A and B are shown apart, each in its own frame.
Chain A
Amino acid sequence: GAVVSQHPSRVICKSGTSVKIECRSLDFQATTMFWYRQFPKQSLMLMATSNEGSKATYEQGVEKDKFLINHASLTLSTLTVTSAHPEDSSFYICSAKGQGRYEQYFGPGTRLTVT
């Protein structure tokens, strides 16, 4: 299967600071990338969809000014959590799919803890 990486795997930051998470497709061109959030023992919640070179589309209730998404190339998308607060602490997971493909491959996730 296709490989998607995320960096960092874990990050701890202070309240009020910003954190950037990278998502890379290592062996295929990801025309579309997705960002999810997952709370303990819960399902995955889609936050936003990004197509390479376009602005991200955010799901209802997700603040676009707080969760900045950039998809500048066919192999890289970034999620920046701005002015992080403890309630932003969560497991953030990206996924990627190629043009015309149905299969969506997930990264290993990033555990964000805001203190």
Chain B
Amino acid sequence: QQQVKQSPQSLIVQKGGISIINCAYENTAFDYFPWYQQFPGKGPALLIAIRPDVSEKKEGRFTISFNKSAKQFSLHIMDSQPGDSATYFCALGLAGNTGKLIFGQGTTLQVKP
């Protein structure tokens, strides 16, 4: 049973546009919601993360929107650049700060020049 559903699977955006990736989860056993960026052949890099006590967090061009009641959160990349082309993973952190993360299926983003 999938605990997290990430969409879309792939995304093509023009340079300067907004990239939006969504994740939905099924139960309330999580209290940490990070997004990771992964380039081919590299390990994932922590991009931005949010706790459930806030509905939005912004760091530079990256914003997380969090809807606790709907059990959804999304990543918005403003002014998308070709260098943002990568695979993005959302993750769910189990409550209690065990560190255990459940990853989404991943979204491959391509930003066209």
A interface residues with partner B (beta carbon < 8 Å): 1, 4, 6, 32, 34, 42-44, 46, 49, 93, 95, 97, 100, 102-109, 111
Interface check B73, CB cutoff 8 A:
no
Q: A43-B104, A44-B103 are in contact. Are A103 and B43 (CB under 8 A)?
A: no
* Nearest CB in chain B to that of A94: its residue: B43
Partner of A100, one of B34, B89, B97: B97
Task: Identify the closest chain B residue to A91 (Cβ).
Answer: B41
* A109: B residues at CB distance < 8 A: 41-43
- A74 to chain B: closest CB distance in Å? 14
* B45 on interface, CB distance cutoff 8 Å: yes
Do B46 and A43 touch (CB < 8 A)?
no
Complex contact B49–A44 (CB within 8 A): no
Given the complex, which residues of A lie within 8 Å of B36, measured CB to CB?
106
Which residues of the partner chain A approach B8 to less than 8 Å between Cβ atoms?
none
Whether A102 contacts B51 in the complex (CB less than 8 A), given A43-B105, A97-B99, comes out as yes
Asked if B101 contacts A107 (CB within 8 A), the reply is no
Q: A6-B43, A44-B89, A100-B97 are in contact. List 13 more A-B contacts (CB 8 A).
A: A32-B98, A43-B89, A44-B44, A46-B100, A49-B99, A102-B32, A102-B49, A102-B51, A105-B46, A106-B43, A109-B41, A109-B42, A109-B43
Residues in B neighbouring A111, C-beta threshold 8 A = 41
Task: Tell me the smallest distance from the CB of A83 to a CB of chain B, in Å.
Answer: 26
Whether A93 lies near B43 (C-beta < 8 A) is: yes
| Complex contacts, B49 vs chain A, CB 8 Å | 102-103
Q: Which one of A43, A46, A97 contacts B106 once the chains associate, using CB atoms below 8 Å?
A: A43
Question: In the complex, what distance in Å separates the CA atom of A109 from the CA atom of B40?
Answer: 11
Mark B44-77 against chain A: 1 for CB-CB distance below 8 A, else 0. 1110010100000000000000000000000000
Q: List 13 A-B contacts (CB under 8 A).
A: A1-B45, A34-B99, A43-B89, A43-B103, A43-B105, A43-B106, A93-B44, A100-B97, A102-B49, A102-B93, A103-B46, A104-B101, A111-B41
